[in-house]
Structure 1
Amino acid sequence: MNRRIFLQLTSLNTLRWLALSTLPTTLSACGTNPDNTLNVRLLKNSIPPQLVRQFRASLEQPASLNFAAEEQLSHLFDLLTPTETPAATTQQQLLPWRRTPGVSQLDLVTLGNYWLSAAIQQQRIQPLNAGELKTWSELPSRWQQLVRRNNQGQPDPSGSVWGIPYRWGTTVLAFRRDRFRDLGWTPTDWNDLWRPELAGKISLLDRAREIIGLTLKKLGQSYNTANLDDVTNLRSQLQQLHSQARFYSSTHYLEPLITGDTQLAVGWSSDVLAAMERYPQINAVIPLSGTALWAELWVRPANASNENPLVNQWIDFCLAPERAGQLSLLTGGTSSTALGFNRDLPKELREHRVLFPPNPLVQRSEFLLPLSEESAQQYLRYWEEMRSQPVT
């Protein structure tokens, strides 16, 4: 990204950060009919407050819009009350669990795509009628396929639609400009994590699917490889990567980068873009061989009423192509309808290679899909073997 684009985006995003950091977590309207209410729990900073206010202004009848934010996707998963609680599978052991009581009377909840399979299996959510949504056809086919699942949570082209993707992003390499200027090169792909000059200077996500997946990608394999034993040199590559690591965390992986204790970090684009706003010495790149894609979805709790017309109105309003730029720029995640309409966005935004990666790079990237029980056990075993030695 050139300096002009960087400065323009930083200026706009700093205003966004200041606004979001001072807003309450609940946006509601008073003096309205209690029967005309929309109760939403969403991931903090994933929807601009301005969008909620604009939606309220667009309604023909006054409504109470109760939008409350949660800090973590795991917290949102816990709000979805299961109708039954089966024993946890190995696949679910790969998730960062937090067990707390669910909350009733919610109409919509943000859910990460990685949690979708477990939410379906545990009957925490109900299918949506995508045919009633005006914007469903605006979503790219891969995004539609992501949320079509059978009742066991497995991808199924003829399955029900269990969520509506509204925002997405990537796993990126974040790095210190100043440190790499001294090294005389900048990261471009996953194989740079194995460079000897970065030993003990890397932060890694504490997620088996992400770290094993990027190693698979380095070896020319898929993030969703079913049998790890078939991948030549995978174990040795994982051990070498572990020896490079200084720090593992899925929540605090950027702090060592900011303080200079590490020089390179694997992280999620929304987190990294927020850090780039405040710390200009940090830059980011999407690995050229492809990366993991993530998406945030609107899902309906299993106990939600089907009689609330505000649900579809909000989803259509949120996904309208004319709002793709606003959602993308103000949240650090890309609107799910932006890929098909990015020609209508400002040139500075279209050229942002983290928010809007080139289509060939998106095509080389993958959503993390659910594994079979046998494959999940294998991933967990490889992860435990990799982590059995202390970090440097």
Structure 2
Amino acid sequence: MKRRFFLQGISTLTLSSVVVGCKQATALMVQILRGSVPVQMVSKFRQQSDQGVIDFVPQLQLQDLFGLLQKWKSQPPTQQSPQTELVMIGDYWLNSAIQQQLIQPLDPKLWPQWSQLPSPWQNIVRRNSEGKYDSKGKIWAAPYRSGSTVIIYRVDKFKALGWTPEDWSDLWRPELRHRISLPNQAREVIGLTLKKLGYSYNTADLSKVKNLEAELLKLHQNVRLYDSNSYLKPLILGDTWLAVGWSTDIPPEVQYQNELAAVVPKSGTALWLDLWVKPAGVQASPTATLADNWIDFCWSPQVATQLSLLTGTTSPIILGMNPQELPQSLRENPLLFPKASILENSDFLQPLSANSIKQYQQLWEKIRLGR
């Protein structure tokens, strides 16, 4: 699963931005996705901790971060990187990271803010040793930030139509023939169609979903292009009127400058979550380490609010806060602070079995290529 971030006008972290002296020992090393941690947050944490060099090493893609965990696991202990205490990965990789024994369980008792995290977000990272959801399982990761799949549309075009998109079902309207773009991803396109029909994005057996193929064929007639990377350009130019994309791609300034608006479908959508995990080779500690302090720091209300506003993502901690305690620009932004009813109906993409993956791929090829 490839994810991209267009963070415009934000000071984001570089390797040198947190080094306070070349002669000091590294107190904490964290591997992160580039652009995911605002430098303001790191500066504040450094001031509070004052324990030496705090080094955040950016990687280009989440897949690269997962690859680091695999690399360290395959190396002899003498060649591993014991300095790295935390790694950011996407929720999509958590199952595999546990199964391959790349990471170790965490102790939420070391995080004072853990109790403020809404229970659904605690349960997401509670897994058994096989990586599957388990209400009695251990905590394998700490939620950091999240986003969603959304509908983005041209305000002027829909003003002329006399209606605005609100849900996935609107993508099937006849007036949008050859006017929309969809991600070039089977899980996303089949998933939103499943959602329209009242099913989960994680439906394992597609053969049991009545009219799924017919619905996809009908939707295909409205599609001008399938694109997961450059779909905003034809939307801005007016070649398309509506696109399905990711909440992180369209900060308010981009919407304002290009007459765009975005909505999270009210019947629910696909969610993603970035997580903090501890590599398997790091020595466990019964007391809170600097890494534990960083995790808890990210959940403090003020920092969680800052994170959400600066990165255009949602810190899970704000979802449990009183909306009146949040800045107006945050609580009135439906992409950053979705309605509870939408979140309840939304799904994190779970790994599918080999047989299910084959079903999705065969149906995807049949719709796209007419096979």
Root-mean-square deviation (CA, aligned residues, Å) is 2.6
Q: How many residues align?
A: 358
Instruction: Give yes or no for the alignment of 1:243 onto 2:224.
Output: no
- Aligned partners of 1:249 and 1:301: how far apart in 2? 34
Do the aligned residues in 2 keep the contact of 1:81 with 1:103 (CA within 8 Å)? no
CA–CA distance in structure 2, aligned partners of residues 243 and 105 of structure 1: 53
Q: Distance in 1 between matches of 2:252 and 2:160?
A: 25
> For 1:159-192, what per-residue CA distance to the aligned partner results, in whole angstroms no more than 9, with x for missing partners?
2212111111221101111222222221111011
Tell me the distance in 2 between the aligned counterparts of 1:292 and 1:350: 21
Give the stretch that moved more between structures: 152-161 or 26-35: 26-35
Change (3 A) 1:63 1:173: same
How far, CA to CA, are the matches of 1:159 and 1:379 in structure 2?
Answer: 30
CA displacement, residues 281-340 of structure 1 (integer Å, 9 cap, x when unaligned): 111001111111211111122333435811101101111123221111111001110011
Contact 2:27-2:51 at 8 Å conserved across structures = no
One-letter identity of the residue aligned with 1:66: D
Residue 68 (1) aligns with residue 49 (2) = no
Q: Distance in 2 between matches of 1:80 and 1:275?
A: 36
Distance 1:226 1:304 in 2: 36
Deviations 1:236-262 (A, max 9, x none): 112222332222233322232223222
The residue that corresponds to 1:38 in the other structure is 28
Secondary structure, aligned partner of 1:300: strand
Q: Kindly provide the CA deviation profile for residues 181-207 of structure 1, in whole angstroms up to 9, marking residues without a partner as x.
A: 222221111011112222222221222
Deviations 1:116-167 (A, max 9, x none): 1122223332222222222221211111111112222211112221211111
> 2:265 matched to 1:287?
yes
- 1:105/1:303 contact within 8 Å kept: no
| Match status 1:234 vs 2:215 | no
2:3 maps to what in 1? none
CA distance in 2, matches of 1:66, 1:80: 18
* Distance change in 2, residues 1:121/1:207 (3 Å): farther
Closer, same or farther: CA 47–24 of 1 in aligned 2, 3 Å: closer
2:17 matched to 1:27? yes
Tell me the CA shift for residue 84 of structure 1: 5.9
In the alignment, the residues of structure 2 paired with residue 196 and residue 145 of structure 1 have an alpha-carbon distance, to the nearest angstrom, of 41
1:301 corresponds to 2:279 = yes
Task: Indicate whether 1:210 and 2:188 are aligned.
Answer: yes
Superposed displacement of residue 35, structure 1: 4.2
SS at match of 1:47: coil
The equivalent residue for 1:261 is 239
1:34, distance to aligned residue in structure 2 (A): 4.4
Counterpart Cα distance in 1 of 2:370 and 2:15: 41
Equivalent residue runs for 1:148-187 within 5 Å: 148-187=126-165
Structure 1 residue 217 displacement after superposition:
0.7
CA deviation map 1:205-245 (0-9, x unaligned): 22222211110010111112222111110011122223322
Counterpart position of 1:388:
369
TM-score, length-scaled by structure 1: 0.84
Where does 1:72-83 land on structure 2 (aligned, <5 Å)? 72-81=61-70, 83=73
- Does 2:316 align with 1:336? yes
Q: Secondary structure at the match of 2:243?
A: strand
Match of residue 324 from structure 1:
304
TM-score (norm 2): 0.88
Q: Give 1:103 deviation, angstroms.
A: 7.2
Are the structure 2 counterparts of residues 383 and 304 from structure 1 closer, same or farther at C-alpha, using a change threshold of 3 Å?
farther
On the 8 A contact 2:15/2:55 being kept in 1, the answer is: no
Query: Alpha carbons of 1:279 and 1:153: their partners in 2 closer, same or farther (altered >3 Å)?
Result: farther
Kept after mapping to 2: 8 A contact 1:270/1:333: yes
Identify the residue that residue 349 of structure 2 maps to in structure 1.
Answer: 368
Partner of 1:350: 331
The answer to whether the Cα contact below 8 Å between 1:187 and 1:285 also exists between their aligned partners in 2 is: yes
Aligned counterparts of 2:289 and 2:110: Cα–Cα separation in 1: 10
Q: Which runs of 5+ in 1 are unaligned?
A: 1-13, 86-101
| 1:87-166 matches, cutoff 5 A | 105-166=83-144
Q: CA separation in 1, counterparts of 2:267 and 2:198? A: 8
Partner of 1:57: 47
* Equivalent residue number for residue 192 of structure 1: 170
More divergent stretch after superposition (32-41 vs 212-221): 32-41
* Most deviating of 156-165 and 253-262: 253-262
1:57 deviates by 0.3
